Amino acid sequence: MLLCTSLLAVGCTGEANDDDSPFGELDAIMSDERPTKRSEVIAVPNEATRSIVMFGGNDAPIVNQIPRSAFRDDTWVFEPGFGWTEVGGSSPSARGRYGAAADVANGRALLFGGRYRDADASGNYDLYNDIWAFDFESRTWNELDDGTDGPAPRYYPGVVWSEEDSALYVYGGLTNRDPLSFAISRELWKWTAEDGWEQIPTSGDEPSPRAFFGTTFDTARNRLILFAGQVGDFQSLAYNDLFSLDVRTGEWEELDNGGNGSPFTRMHPHLQYDGTRDRIVLFGGHTDVGDDNDLWEFPAEGGRWDTVYEADVIVGDRFGCLENESEVPADYVEQDLSAPERRQKAGVALMFDNLWVFGGMHAECSEHLDDAWRYDMPTKAWTELIEARTGESCLRRNEDCQCLCL
């Protein structure tokens, strides 16, 4: 058995479990707790406390691939080798589609914005522009700014923290409260504890107006990285171009135009900066032909995209199964069962040279996921840590079916 009940302390060790992974006991799950199935979340890691925090999100039913509203205000901490723990106390109000970033020097996760609507309600959403900090040592939330003098409230913003500037940067997002009318922002805002909010002018090869993009922060060059997205109408094709934004100067640069050899066009991609290999890592998201679970890399100094792990391959017709146009035939996908289910809007974090994946939405199955996976960067192998109870295809559940998920 393990010598401690939590791996919060860096020196905590124990016997390795029976699997052959290089992580040994860190693959063990000792906790019986886990978050509900959910999406619209962001996971933020902290290596000093060996933990990853995930807040809120949406766990409402998904009907014909359209999620309803049931927003959460719970806080969960995942520790490799132990599992999930729910954290009590005060927190941000219930919401999903917020932005979040890691402030490593101060041992905290920062959360900005998001949206909320009562469960199963219709009509306009409440939008937010407040800033909250989660302290990893004390496991407590603290409001840093109520948004009074900040940018307009918004959801799906790109949010990064710059250690060089001790500043939070917010790019873009959607400012519409009406879910049927999209208002795309292209603003860049900077927040510091000393001076509050300031809008930063931008220039250069700026991305076209878009929402649902993925962002990460290149800490070696103090720049925000933006990939893909879509114009917001859910009908036009998505993008697959790649940009960088120097947050000090506000200068945009196109890194890749999305030509041949690039990842397929998509919304809600999960982006991480891998400082060990000085590269940008892409996992999954919602492509124009369905959700994906592929892994890609792009050299941070410039170059071209390369596939790291292909996983599932979409080969069939998209719509129609059992006379229901929203269902997908079982032979639509050649599935790689050694990889996680395809997904979007998941909690994804890079820590200990591993990519950690929690939950998310599987559009073809019209359901959220509640599983946990680890991808080992050196060995290029996936390990399932917590099995999904919902959201997976029939084949992954060891069931036969005519439709992918029924």
* CA 228/CA 134 separation, integer angstroms: 29
Q: What's the number of domains the chain is made of?
A: 1
Domain CATH number, residue 349: 2.120.10.80
pTM given for the model: 0.93
In a domain, 19, yes or no: no
* CA 157/CA 170 separation, integer angstroms: 6
pLDDT value, residue 68:
85
* CA 100/CA 201 separation, integer angstroms: 22
- What are the b/e assignments for 176-197, b being 16+ CB within 10 Å? bbeeeebebbebbbbbeeeeeb
Cβ partners under 8 Å of residue 59, min gap 6: 36, 37, 38, 39, 70, 72, 368
In a domain, 386, yes or no: yes
Q: Which domain, by its residues, includes 271?
A: 33-397
The length of the chain in residues reads: 406
In a domain, 86, yes or no: yes
pLDDT value, residue 1:
26
pLDDT value, residue 9:
35
In a domain, 21, yes or no: no
The candidate with the shortest Cα–Cα distance to 161, out of 195, 128, 192, 196, is 192
pLDDT value, residue 128:
98
Listed as own residue / partner, the contacts of 202-209 with beta carbons closer than 8 Å and 24 or more positions apart are 202/245, 202/250, 202/251, 202/252, 203/250, 203/251, 203/252, 204/251, 204/252, 204/253, 205/243, 205/252, 205/253, 205/254, 206/243, 206/252, 207/239, 207/241, 207/243, 207/252, 208/239, 209/184
In a domain, 404, yes or no: no
* CA 322/CA 330 separation, integer angstroms: 11
Q: According to the 3-state scheme, what is the secondary structure of 337-374?
A: CCCCCCEECCEEEEECCEEEEEEEEEHHHCEEEEEEEE
H-helix or E-strand spanning residue 297: strand 290-299
* CA 223/CA 226 separation, integer angstroms: 10
In a domain, 9, yes or no: no
pLDDT value, residue 161:
98
Q: What is the DSSP letter of 193?
A: T
pLDDT value, residue 120:
83
CB 315 within 8 A of CB 332: yes
Instruction: Provide the residue-wise pLDDT of the chain in tens; the chain has 406 residues.
Output: 233 334 433 333 333 344 444 455 789 999 999 999 999 999 999 999 999 999 999 999 887 667 789 999 999 999 999 999 999 999 999 999 999 999 999 999 999 999 999 998 889 999 999 999 999 999 999 999 999 999 999 999 999 999 999 999 999 999 999 998 999 999 999 999 999 999 999 999 999 999 999 999 999 999 999 999 999 988 899 999 999 999 999 999 999 999 989 999 999 999 999 999 999 999 999 999 999 999 999 999 999 999 999 999 999 877 789 888 878 999 999 999 999 999 999 999 999 999 999 999 999 999 999 999 999 999 999 999 999 999 999 999 999 999 999 8
In a domain, 146, yes or no: yes
